[in-house]
Structure 1
Amino acid sequence: MSNLSYANGGNGAWQTFLAQVDRVAPYLSEDLADYVDTLKRPKRALIVDVPIIMDDGSIQHFEGYRVQHNLSRGPGKGGIRYHPDVELNEVMALAAWMTIKTAVLNLPFGGAKGGVRVDPRKLSARELERLTRRFTSEIAHIIGPQKDIPAPDVGTNPNVMGWMMDTYSSGQGYTVTGVVTGKPVHLGGSLGRVKATGRGVYITGCQVAEKLSLNIENAKVSIQGFGNVGSEAANLFYLSNAKIVCIQDHTGTIFNASGIELNALHAYIEQYQGVAGFEGAERIDNEAFWDVETDIIIPAALEGQITVARAHRLKAKMVLEGANGPTYPEADDILNERGIMIVPDVICNAGGVTVSYFEWVQDMASYFWSEAEINDRLDKLMVQAVEDVWTCANSNGCTLRTAAYILACERILKARKERGIFPG
């Protein structure tokens, strides 16, 4: 298992979400109180068997999931994860966080998530394609441009989305580009999508840093996870003259108090597929990552990384949650008591789903925007979301996470109430 594995598994993720809902319930208006339990029950959860013929002719079975948590505000939206630790409770939590995330950004979506319990690194390209196509065929009856729109997540990429789109389209008899987002650009994907989540982490981080009078220039930044999210956030902070002092990925942890030279690191990773061994920094123990003195720490790997023990040790002024659910509720309390500002995942890493929304809109209209237009629209929506959450936090005397949940839950539950319960 990777060094970035789950601290308490998927069960912990779902329990974390339930605890977050319980915490926000007292802040909701009385007329919505009867609907809070809606958030604690996924609307639909599908478990499927995914059998495929391997390259050696043997047959292997993989377990797949698609969970639609809440569809009150629109079709489901959420990624497809390929990871050996994927299981139902984790997918439920990830779908629920998507419900909150889309509502905080006021996007016309509900929350969904999917996954297959598999290590994609152990499959050949042909096996991966077979897995994707079979999985898509198994969930095809509950996805679609007006039903539920998957996207890439951990272990998946634009190529996987292209296979999903083609498989779904084959069943419909015509090309349906809007069934997934995060596709290759020439198949109806959007410019700026790959970098969007990392860009959102940077934008929200800068907005909150300004409110805290934290100067980004020369600020020390530590990043856990160096995939699309972590690497793009690192690039943007680096270009703003911040010092990237510590990076951890699946191969190890590297540290340089004077700042890591990112251009050289990217060239190294391209050759060696990880940060371990990079000569421009010293290798430190993985657990020591949480002891590095830094201004900004960005957990951008998997959920459940900031535990109670790590929260006591953290030496940072601000946490930017690039991953979903990286902080346990009890650790949340400790960080808040210690005066460490947390920019919660539901706004911090919402850049990806926001540009996915743009991609979906472009597919529906068959009219595509430039990357500059997309980044401009993304920045405006992210800045507005931070302002809304900051104002709500000040009005209620609560944390940014609770404020984000207040805004989101009110929007979701108001939609549920106004739609009514069928049959009456």
Structure 2
Amino acid sequence: MTSLLDQSVSRLDLAVEADPDLKPIRRLLSLPHELVERELTLKRDSGKLQYARAWRCRYNALKGPTKGGVRFAPNTSSEEVKRLGFLMTLKCALLDLPFGGAKGAVKIEPGSLSTKERYQLAEAYGELFSDMLRPDQDVAAPDVATSSEDMEAMLAGLEHYANGDARGAITGKPEDMGGLALRKGATGRGAVVVLDRLADDYGIELDGCRIAVQGIGKAGLQFAESAAKAGACIVAMADSTGTIRDEDGLDIDEVGEAKADGTLDYTDESDAILSTDADILCLAAISDTVSAGNAPDLNCRIILEIANAAVNPDADDILRNRDIQVGPDILFNAGGVTASYLEWLSFRKGAKNPVNDIHALWRDRLVTTADAIAATVEECEQDWRLAALLYALRDLNAIAEAQGLFEA
């Protein structure tokens, strides 16, 4: 059975076919640099001990310290962590950030934890991987089911074993600990910045564009809110329970409030969002949502991947044959890591030399990257994923060559 990582790496074959000089970097990226699996001990409020698998993968460090979020999830695995570290490597290269790719995870059901247990869990992760997490080696951040409060606890665990540099090893922290207000909602907002920049290239106009969103969490809600402010009509949204609809456009503030209260008025099953008639289907929930099994049922012109690996590679040919364009995850969810970079940079510069005009720097980085991909897509027959992969691989390949990694 093909692994999750192998599936994602296989997408690089088209890039190598388009540019054979990239064959060495494709081989180099086929395996992670370092994958560490450890056991974490959690003392539940009942007094019982619970043991959970925890991972940290430093996938590739060609461009600098590795960077990647930490997720708490019951169905995570070493394979998922490797795949996500691979994608982060490509994303950082695409954005020309001075980072390699990484990812971390704990296999646990976060909803079963009390506030005290959750703090202990995140603190324990910081302690467990204190030998890896350093500003100049590996930098963690929030991911699925983790928050700024979890990063605060993780930092507390890390500081038990590290010096004052520990704060630079964690981004997405609370603002009073050096975090940036920009980081909140940056993934969803960033997707709209990129979409707005590329709307003409995609052959759409954002004002009046009909959008369906899978995901009513942080990223999905922020994307929907920002897209609606730009004039888009959010005709449907879905979470794991069901789908809500309004052909005249959902009120996103009301959706957010109803989601928090548990009073959403579902009209369809959750999967019905995928066949919604819309210009754009935004996937902001889980990986592998679109596959060969449901790709023929989609009723959209464009897919935006805000969730990592939202489209399984086995659906690529079907989507291509149906002329459904895909806005790849390494471009459309890049707002989060870009904000994390600016937080890390602020720490490096120190209080005497703060990074000025943070929002403008964040936006400029996303817009510049979008422009670069728009230029590259001309040689890729309008395949936006291929354009993004080519751009990222060429960057990594140039660095590897400069370091003499491919010399005989």
Question: Deviation string for 1:72-105 (max 9, x for gaps)?
Answer: 1100000001000110011000000000000000
Residues 125-274 of structure 1 mapped to structure 2, 5 A cutoff? 125-174=115-164, 176-272=166-262
- Could you tell me how far 1:33 is from its partner in structure 2? 2.8
Match of 2:373 in 1: 389
Residues 295-374 of structure 1 mapped to structure 2, 5 A cutoff? 295-367=279-351, 368=354, 373-374=357-358
- Could you tell me how far 1:251 is from its partner in structure 2? 2.9
3-state SS of 2:310 partner: coil
Match of 1:56 in 2: 46
Match of 1:278 in 2: 264
Residues 240 and 398 (structure 1), Cα distance of their counterparts in 2 relative to 1, 3 Å cut:
closer
Q: What is the alpha-carbon distance in structure 1 between the residues aligned to residue 385 and residue 406 of structure 2?
A: 32
- 1:377 maps to 2:361: yes
Identify which of structures 1 and 2 has the higher relative contact order when contacts are C-alpha pairs closer than 8 Å and 6+ apart.
1
Does the CA contact (< 8 Å) of 1:157 and 1:182 recur in 2?
A: yes
Selected match of 1:411 from 391, 395, 398: 395
Question: Deviation string for 1:265-305 (max 9, x for gaps)?
Answer: 22222322xxxx434xx521222211110111110111100
Does the CA contact (< 8 Å) of 1:21 and 1:39 recur in 2?
A: no
Residues 22-41 of structure 1 mapped to structure 2, 5 A cutoff? 22-30=13-21, 32-41=22-31
- Could you tell me how far 1:405 is from its partner in structure 2? 0.8
Q: What is the alpha-carbon distance in structure 1 between the residues aligned to residue 332 and residue 322 of structure 2?
A: 21
Task: Report percent identity of matched pairs.
Answer: 28
3-state SS of 1:284 partner: coil
3-state SS of 2:153 partner: helix
- Could you tell me how far 1:234 is from its partner in structure 2? 0.3
Does the CA contact (< 8 Å) of 1:13 and 1:90 recur in 2?
A: yes
- Could you tell me how far 1:387 is from its partner in structure 2? 1.4
Structure 1 unaligned residues grouped into runs of 5+: 1-7
Q: What is the alpha-carbon distance in structure 2 between the residues aligned to residue 244 and residue 92 of structure 1?
A: 34
Relative to the length of structure 2, the TM-score reads 0.95
Does the CA contact (< 8 Å) of 2:345 and 2:355 recur in 1?
A: no
- Could you tell me how far 1:418 is from its partner in structure 2? 2.1
3-state SS of 2:161 partner: helix
Aligned length: 406
3-state SS of 1:176 partner: helix
- 1:402 maps to 2:386: yes
Match of 1:20 in 2: 11
3-state SS of 2:326 partner: strand
Q: What is the alpha-carbon distance in structure 2 between the residues aligned to residue 40 and residue 268 of structure 1?
A: 44
Question: Deviation string for 1:166-208 (max 9, x for gaps)?
Answer: 2212312436321111010110101210111111111112222
Q: What is the alpha-carbon distance in structure 2 between the residues aligned to residue 422 and residue 137 of structure 1?
A: 37
Q: What is the alpha-carbon distance in structure 1 between the residues aligned to residue 251 and residue 407 of structure 2?
A: 61
Q: What is the alpha-carbon distance in structure 2 between the residues aligned to residue 408 and residue 356 of structure 1?
A: 19
Residues 160 and 150 (structure 1), Cα distance of their counterparts in 2 relative to 1, 3 Å cut:
same
Q: What is the alpha-carbon distance in structure 2 between the residues aligned to residue 347 and residue 175 of structure 1?
A: 30
Relative to the length of structure 1, the TM-score reads 0.91
Selected match of 1:108 from 98, 105, 113: 98
Question: Deviation string for 1:353-398 (max 9, x for gaps)?
Answer: 011000000111224457xx33322221111111111211202435
CA RMSD of aligned residues (A): 1.9
